[in-house]
A and B are shown apart, each in its own frame.
Chain A
């Protein structure tokens, strides 16, 4: 689905990424983790095609849909207007959405459980609702690869749970491939099949969640002790940082 080889990306005169390579099968969920400013958004921008690689190759089989972080529009479009814009690729230069486009968009709104918001002004919706409308927009482009930039940032636990559940459902029921960035390892634990830990422009770890998403790797990634925590009585685990201990030695 996604093949990245020997990738280098520049922003202006700065090299943000160097010598990145990974391969993701269709139907996988990749979670990208890394410190602020390490180049997660740059990586996404090059996957979407907004940034041209300075060197190397990205090949993606299928159509890509993109959901940006917290989105605002300067005019009072309705939620339906915004979701309809996902049909851009299927309409010619002079085209406007027709009945079939409306049907597809309404199906996607229903899939996300936000059909009731259709007529509401987009900018008046809550962050979580806006996120869902943007996902509906991406799905309406009939993409097979969905790329989300911090889909859970600025959402409360309940809404994070909804978005994560949605990602799991899109993968299971619609065989979609999904790439998302996050600052929370626990999101990766819940839904990802693979993780990409970006430590610096040249240093990264890629692999399946079970092998790569470990307390050692995370501690190394964030330069902060991070522990694995088991939920008592459940066969589930999560990761939590040990705040206030930077500099001290710590063993997992």
Chain B
């Protein structure tokens, strides 16, 4: 671990004089504004800024056409807000899970929550459910898979790093099979295409209702995780040490697991399976802030938001057809995972557990 972890710290120290969080927030706002201008209908950043500002401070005489306002506020903005919320939520849950399991290779996808929630979502679509019901079913199955993974990987009160990842693989495989069965049962002309495209992860058709649904999951979950920032620090020392320091290990673990399942369910319910964000982003953020979760969590969240927004911009502009978001995040995430795995392995990362 030494070789890989010292260097990022030094970069962080060099950047320390610049207030990181305001800088990132500014970048996020800028990315949002630029993202709104992208697409077939041409708009300038200035126009977008004016149209959006109009909602807060109404102007007497608009300098834009009504159709421009519709493009900005009804067509593009919901999707962009969805990307921001999803990126934020996934990155924060990834950072929290990595701290909780003291394992840099963990994210909601790896430990099986995503596929559990994915199965819940598929089942819900098959049954004709949508909205909050879809979210509810996805959440239940997400929780179920977390519960199973925890059960499988905990022996005599100790959760080993390697078994945790393996248990995640096992549970993911199980739910993938379950998803396949659901697909097999689905009506091949209407529901099957819907399920298949939805599973690849896309926010192309996001509405304000979807944005509300995602916020309902991401906002309280992120808040809960942030409140536990110091407890996550302590838990990352290992369960025994955390107990000796007086931390309420089981309670903190469950709050974080529930929060993570909620984020995954919210994302899955509205946008399908978008993986790997929670794995990659915390590493980038840790390089900037160091390991303390008080600094790491917010920075992870904002970088995650910017990242997913950029990925979504790629998804909708690279080709004339829409590329599902989940495909791009996987294409970027998998090589990064491979590199981290090599580093952890070469520095004897599994040796302690």
Contacts and interface: CB of A to CB of B under 8 A. Distances in A.
A193 interface: no
Given A81-B233, A81-B292, A75 B5 contact: yes
Interface string A31-51: 000000000000001001110
B9 A121 contact: yes
Contacts of B290: 76-78, 81
Contact of A97 (B1, B227, B230): B230
The residue among A49, A73, A86 with the most chain B CB atoms within 10 A of its own CB is A73
B127 interface: no
Contacts of A95: 230
B237 A89 contact: no
A72 interface: yes
B153 to A, nearest CB: 16
Contact of B229 (A73, A96, A123): A96
Nearest to B287: A76
Contacts of B1: 72, 74, 123
A85 B237 contact: yes
B246 A141 contact: yes
Interface string B203-244: 000000000000000000000000111110110110011111
Nearest to A140: B245
B286 interface: yes
Nearest to A48: B244
A226 to B, nearest CB: 33
A62 to B, nearest CB: 13
B6 interface: yes
B6 A73 contact: no
Interface in A144-190: none
A50 B233 contact: no
Nearest to A45: B240
Interface in A74-112: 74-78, 81, 84-86, 88-89, 91, 93-97
A68 interface: yes
B258 to A, nearest CB: 15
Contacts of A78: 9, 290, 292
A77 B228 contact: no
Contacts of A89: 245-246
B326 interface: no
B230 A96 contact: yes
Contacts of A239: none
Place the interface of chain B in its size category: 35 or more
A153 B127 CA distance: 63
Interface string A229-247: 0000000000000000000
Interface residues of A, number: 34
A54 interface: no
B5 A76 contact: yes
Summarize A's interface: helix, strand, loop or mixed.
loop
A123 B233 contact: no
B44 to A, nearest CB: 43
Nearest to A96: B230
A124 B7 CA distance: 11
Contact of A88 (B236, B247, B291): B247
A123 B102 CA distance: 14
Contacts of B40: none
B245 A86 contact: yes
A206 interface: no
A76 B9 contact: yes
A92 B231 CA distance: 9
B103 interface: yes
A92 to B, nearest CB: 9
A123 B8 CA distance: 13
Contacts of B50: none
B121 interface: no
Given A74-B236, A76-B286, A121 B102 contact: no
A66 interface: yes
A94 B227 contact: yes
Interface in A14-71: 45, 48-50, 64, 66, 68, 71
Interface string B290-329: 1110100000000000000000000000000000000000
Contacts of B247: 88
A65 B2 CA distance: 27
B278 to A, nearest CB: 16
27 contacts: A12-B156, A50-B244, A64-B244, A66-B241, A66-B245, A73-B291, A75-B102, A75-B236, A76-B8, A81-B233, A85-B233, A85-B234, A85-B245, A88-B234, A88-B245, A91-B230, A93-B227, A93-B248, A93-B251, A93-B252, A94-B227, A96-B230, A96-B294, A97-B230, A123-B5, A124-B6, A141-B245
Given A68-B244, A84-B233, A88-B245, 15 more contacts: A12-B156, A49-B244, A72-B1, A74-B236, A77-B233, A78-B290, A78-B292, A85-B233, A85-B237, A86-B245, A93-B228, A93-B248, A96-B230, A96-B294, A121-B9
Interface of B: 1-2, 5-6, 8-9, 13, 99, 102-104, 156, 227-231, 233-234, 236-237, 240-248, 251-252, 286, 290-292, 294, 349, 352
Interface of A: 12, 45, 48-50, 64, 66, 68, 71-78, 81, 84-86, 88-89, 91, 93-97, 119, 121, 123-124, 137, 141
**Closest 6 A/B residue pairs (Cβ):** A75-B291, A89-B246, A76-B5, A94-B227, A66-B244, A88-B245
